A and B are shown apart, each in its own frame.
Chain A
Amino acid sequence: MSGFANQPENAVVVTNLVKRYAKAKAIAVDDVSFAVRRGEIFGLLGPNGAGKTTTIGVLTTAIVPTSGTASIGGVNVAEDPIGVKRRIAVVPQQSNLDRSLKVREILTFHAAYHGVGRRERGEMADRLLEQLGLGERKNEKVSAYSGGMVQRLMIARALMHEPEVLFLDEPTNNLDPQSRLFLWERIGELRARGLTILMTTHDMEEADHLCDRIAVMDHGKILVNDSPEALKRTLPGSSALELQTFTASADHAGMNERIAAMLRSLPGTARVDTTADADSEEPGHYTHRLFGDNVHLLIGSAAQAIAECGAEVRNVSVKKPSLEEVFLSLTGRHLR
């Protein structure tokens, strides 16, 4: 893996990264390796506590790894943190905007910290505030800002010194749908301009929509790392046929076992999930999920099998696999 860092097409390279916090029981990041190509949007997708923020912390010089290496544009994070800080920008999970400054000053001072000249930083601040829809309120302090505006302002701040790699830690968490959509568009534009973006999220839709590649992370490990399309193909059966059934028979459990067995025997079926509908008032309501590559071709034979067993079909639908299913099948359903 060590040759990785020298390949110019890789903007970010992480090799065998381990982070164990002092006083912590579990390992936060457990032997993680990945590379982000120049110009792509790479997503770290995982539930709370997976180790996403810690990974970003190492890459942005805020956290010292226990072992392993990380580099940005070929510059080793541990050996040359200042060289790394020149190349990156960070939008953190929680706002860390300077509440003592006015909004426009937050941007101009950030640029000044990075050595951008006075006139240039003024022009850039005005342009970015305009682009992110904050031009009208640039002389306020952030205490008057909504969550969406804070997030936009943090992105504007990150762009003030023209970084090569942008880190976005859960950029749209807790935002209203309008703000989320607006940010998605802006992030898409940044990719079009050639910026490399490493983002974290636990929102599958967001990962699916924005990312060129996704690494699913849980308990400090990367479980898979691929394009969203390829990840969806890894599910057993790439689409699902959902059949809701009802029977008034007292032995509804036995009957539905027979239905499931018959569905399983249909040619082209990879897997069948059967669940009793717990929320309906009368017993006898069941949902059968039939997974396979072309399940829509099985609608007729599945309905026939159900009728033969003596139950009636109440509803039929065909579902495309979602990243959410990939995610849940990899990380499990338990709460964290």
Chain B
Amino acid sequence: MGSRTRLALSALLATFQRDLVVTGREFVPFLMQALMQPLFFLFIFGKVLPGIGLAAPNFAALMLPGIVALTGMIAAMQGVTLPLVLDLGFAREIDDRLLAPMPVWFVALEKVLFGALRGAVASSVIFPLGWVILGSGFAVRTDRMFTLVAMVLLTGLVGSTVGLLIGTIIKPDQISLMFTLIFTPLLFTGCTYYPWGALGRIRWFQVMTLLNPLTYAAEGLRYAMVPPTGGRDFPTLPLFWILLALPASVIIVFLLGKRTFGKRVVN
């Protein structure tokens, strides 16, 4: 490895450590921000609705993977988008890292990797949270652990790459518009509160959800988590498509985000 490559990698590592230090110091607020919504979702949809007979008893088991996906995706996006919008807009704290002896796109790469870590941590905390809230409704199969870990990591990467792309496009004065026009549709069309297979009766919507990478994350987590009933696996999107769509989305969205990032930081 040349001395330049080593220098660039050590710069990348240092920027990652910087984010670890900063987030580590705000770990409790970070967890509260990431977990408040899933906590109520789990309670209302997993406990209250089945309890009063408005949802089937196994609804909790189907929804839990969706909540894991959603939480990971949001935490990863939040870790990248908002800081980036503010930084590129006026704070310019990022400049010091752009002047480090590494390609400027490494700064974007670090944001994505760190965002994915944030997402994975937030996703992981859903498991103990779900166990506590759902009680006997908590059901997760344990024979697909490897797939589960892979899905959690991919979900984080999907969130952070989308976060990078949005964060480099949006200007600070468009932040509230972004929540309405981008976040809300993204979160509700991602098959998080309903399994994809059940949408067969609303065919056009079922097709539309395939455009949202969150759909593949939620279905992948369902594949890895929902216990079989009567010896039969719960039907999800085929694993093949999930394992094709998630990495493809990560790569394509990252390349797009890398481009817009480059345009924003070098004039």
Q: A residues touching B (Cβ–Cβ < 8 Å)?
A: 21, 57, 60-64, 82, 85-86, 88-90, 92, 94, 96-101, 105, 109-110, 112-115, 157
Contact, CB under 8 Å: B98 / A62: yes
Name the 3 nearest CB pairs between A and B, nearest first.
A113-B100, A112-B14, A96-B92
Contact, CB under 8 Å: A90 / B99: yes
What separation, in Å, do the CA atoms of A86 and B92 have in the docked complex? 20
Pick out which of these stretches binds chain A: B15-23, B55-63, B68-76: B15-23
- A276, chain B: closest CB distance, angstroms: 47
Cβ proximity bits B100-132 to A, threshold 8 Å, 1 near / 0 not: 111100000000000000000000000000000
With a cutoff of 8 Å between Cβ atoms, the chain B residues found around residue A21 in the complex are 267
Contact, CB under 8 Å: B96 / A113: yes
With a cutoff of 8 Å between Cβ atoms, the chain A residues found around residue B11 in the complex are 112-115
Question: Given known contacts A100-B22, A101-B21, is B100 in contact with A85 (CB within 8 Å)?
Answer: yes
Contact, CB under 8 Å: B21 / A105: yes
List the B residue with the shortest CB-CB distance to A54.
B267
What separation, in Å, do the CA atoms of A113 and B94 have in the docked complex? 12
Q: B residues touching A (Cβ–Cβ < 8 Å)?
A: 4, 6-8, 10-11, 14-15, 17-18, 21-22, 91-103, 265-267
- A290, chain B: closest CB distance, angstroms: 49
- Having A96-B91, A96-B94, A114-B101, one finds 17 other A-B pairs with CB under 8 Å, namely A62-B267, A82-B4, A82-B8, A85-B99, A86-B101, A97-B93, A101-B21, A101-B22, A109-B14, A109-B17, A109-B18, A110-B96, A112-B10, A112-B18, A113-B97, A113-B99, A114-B11
What separation, in Å, do the CA atoms of A231 and B180 have in the docked complex? 59
- A240, chain B: closest CB distance, angstroms: 43
With a cutoff of 8 Å between Cβ atoms, the chain A residues found around residue B6 in the complex are 115
Contact, CB under 8 Å: A85 / B101: yes
With a cutoff of 8 Å between Cβ atoms, the chain B residues found around residue A114 in the complex are 11, 100-101
Contact, CB under 8 Å: B17 / A112: yes
Selected from A96, A105, A113, the residue in CB contact (under 8 A) with B93 is: A96
With a cutoff of 8 Å between Cβ atoms, the chain A residues found around residue B14 in the complex are 109, 112-113
What separation, in Å, do the CA atoms of A92 and B98 have in the docked complex? 13
With a cutoff of 8 Å between Cβ atoms, the chain A residues found around residue B93 in the complex are 96-100
With a cutoff of 8 Å between Cβ atoms, the chain B residues found around residue A99 in the complex are 91, 93
What separation, in Å, do the CA atoms of A171 and B216 have in the docked complex? 52
- A111, chain B: closest CB distance, angstroms: 9
Question: Can you spell out 30 A-B residue pairs with CB atoms less than 8 angstroms apart?
Answer: A61-B99, A61-B266, A62-B266, A62-B267, A64-B266, A82-B4, A85-B100, A85-B101, A86-B101, A89-B99, A92-B92, A92-B95, A96-B96, A97-B96, A100-B22, A100-B93, A109-B17, A110-B96, A112-B11, A112-B14, A112-B18, A113-B14, A113-B100, A113-B101, A114-B11, A114-B101, A115-B6, A115-B7, A115-B11, A115-B101
- A161, chain B: closest CB distance, angstroms: 9
With a cutoff of 8 Å between Cβ atoms, the chain B residues found around residue A90 in the complex are 95, 99
- A29, chain B: closest CB distance, angstroms: 12
Question: Given known contacts A21-B267, A61-B266, A115-B7, is B101 in contact with A82 (CB within 8 Å)?
Answer: yes
With a cutoff of 8 Å between Cβ atoms, the chain A residues found around residue B102 in the complex are 82
- B249, chain A: closest CB distance, angstroms: 30
With a cutoff of 8 Å between Cβ atoms, the chain B residues found around residue A100 in the complex are 22, 93
Contact, CB under 8 Å: A113 / B15: yes
With a cutoff of 8 Å between Cβ atoms, the chain B residues found around residue A101 in the complex are 18, 21-22
What separation, in Å, do the CA atoms of A101 and B14 have in the docked complex? 13
Contact, CB under 8 Å: B101 / A57: no
List the B residue with the shortest CB-CB distance to A109.
B18
With a cutoff of 8 Å between Cβ atoms, the chain B residues found around residue A97 in the complex are 93, 96
- A3, chain B: closest CB distance, angstroms: 28
The listed residue with most B CB atoms (<10 A of its CB), out of A61, A90, A92, A96, is A96
What separation, in Å, do the CA atoms of A109 and B22 have in the docked complex? 12
